[in-house]
């Protein structure tokens, strides 16, 4: 699923200029998160990490479709019945997701969540869903059937059985909100790693920028690239960690909303840019679109670029990759 990881030089753990680094792993949104913060001392950094986690838990309670009391779950429970009033940030997140659907012609679609009824990537699947099951699920997919009422801040799913889910951009959004929250508290530097959806700001205590390594799944001993980032985001979508294996064929957890089948052709897509939520929207979209259409999409973006690893191990960089990579170092 993800193959991004961050690494911090060991000497950065030594307090310099009355600053220390604190690192904590936790589970949120069903995934592993890693929070790395720079603060004035060990007590302060632990308190700041607690605040970051609290902010991301707040978001999880709003948008996790597997929590029955979340606003997104209430929207899903009332599909085909009535609109549901939601908080402004849930409405805005949904609106941005629909924008991605429009620019990708449906390759990205938060209503693909209806597929979770027939595709299970928890080790329980022993056979592929039938064509009939896939066809019935596809009938419930379609961002065009998500009705947004800006004046009343409501979301309505036209078809009974429809579902929306933010597994594709929700973790990136949570990371960005945590970063924003911490910066408002005066935290000068850190990394929020939401299971590979990462946002960074500031420098390590010794003044060095953060360094992010992108592993090549075809050669774990060699990096596909090393990023030096400051005030930037990087996300990776991939198929080699979360998948099912049936009849010796690997099926990715990233589903094409139009076909109801796992995406093919690409092993991983890393996107760099200023915002983790947007990066993740592009990385997921490119996995579904494939190499040619995916590159055409990302090459149109002013502030975002992609590194693509194909199923045969080729590493391809979008046109502005080097330029944007250099820009994100500053």
Instruction: Give the residue numbers of the binding site for Mg(2+).
Output: 168, 284
By DSSP bridging, strand 31-39 and strand 243-246 are unpaired
Helices 88-103 and 276-289 cross at an angle (nearest 10°) of: 30
For residue 59 the two structure tokens come to 């978001």
Phi-psi region of 202 (alpha: psi -120 to 50; beta: other; left: phi over 0): left
User: Count of residues for the chain?
Assistant: 330
288-296: long-range pairs with CB below 8 Å, 24+ = 288/104, 288/107, 288/108, 288/254, 288/256, 288/257, 288/263, 289/104, 289/107, 290/263, 290/264, 290/265, 290/266, 291/265, 291/266, 291/316, 293/107, 294/266, 294/269, 295/319
Question: At which residue do the structure tokens 């209806």 appear?
Answer: 114
Positive or negative: CA dihedral 87, 92, 93, 98: positive
Interacting residues of 260 by C-beta distance below 8 A, sequence separation 6+: 115, 118, 129, 134, 135, 137, 138, 141
For residue 10 the two structure tokens come to 């060991």
- The number of angstroms, rounded, from the C-alpha of 102 to the middle of its chain's C-alpha atoms is 18
Q: What angle do CA 274, 195, 243 make, to 5 degrees?
A: 120
Instruction: Write out the binding residues.
Output: 168, 284
Interacting residues of 213 by C-beta distance below 8 A, sequence separation 6+: 4, 5, 6, 7, 223, 225, 226, 227
Distance, in Å, from the CA atom of 22 to the CA atom of 259, rounded to the nearest integer, reads 44
């Amino acid at each position: 699923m993800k193959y991004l990881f961050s690494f911090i030089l060991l000497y950065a753990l030594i307090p310099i200029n009355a600053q220390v680094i604190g690192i904590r792993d936790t589970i949120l949104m069903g995934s592993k998160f890693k929070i790395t913060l720079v603060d004035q001392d060990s007590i302060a950094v632990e308190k700041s990490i607690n605040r970051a986690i609290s902010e991301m838990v707040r978001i999880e309670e709003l948008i996790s479709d597997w929590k029955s009391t979340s606003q997104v779950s209430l929207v899903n429970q009332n599909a085909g019945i009535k609109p549901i009033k939601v908080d402004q940030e849930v409405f805005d997140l949904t609106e941005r997701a629909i924008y991605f659907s429009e620019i990708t012609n449906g390759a990205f679609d938060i209503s693909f969540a209806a597929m979770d009824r027939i595709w299970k990537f928890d080790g329980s699947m022993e056979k592929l869903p039938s064509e009939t099951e896939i066809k019935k699920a596809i009938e419930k997919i379609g961002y065009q059937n998500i009705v947004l009422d800006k004046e009343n801040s409501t979301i309505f799913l036209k078809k009974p059985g429809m579902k929306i889910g933010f597994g594709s951009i929700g973790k990136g959004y949570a990371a960005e909100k945590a970063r924003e929250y911490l910066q408002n508290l005066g935290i000068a530097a850190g990394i929020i790693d939401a299971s590979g959806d990462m946002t960074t700001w500031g420098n390590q205590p010794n003044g060095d920028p953060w360094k992010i390594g992108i592993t090549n799944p075809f050669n774990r001993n060699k990096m596909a690239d090393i990023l030096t980032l400051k005030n930037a985001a990087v996300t990776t979508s991939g198929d080699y960690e979360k998948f099912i294996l049936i009849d010796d064929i690997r099926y990715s957890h990233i589903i094409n909303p139009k076909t109801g089948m796992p995406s093919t052709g690409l092993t991983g897509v890393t996107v760099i840019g200023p915002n983790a939520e947007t990066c993740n929207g592009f990385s997921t979209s490119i996995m579904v679109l494939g190499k040619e259409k995916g590159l055409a999409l990302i090459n149109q973006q002013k502030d975002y670029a992609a590194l693509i690893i194909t199923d045969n191990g080729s590493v391809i960089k979008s046109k502005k990759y080097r330029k944007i990579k250099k820009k994100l170092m500053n």
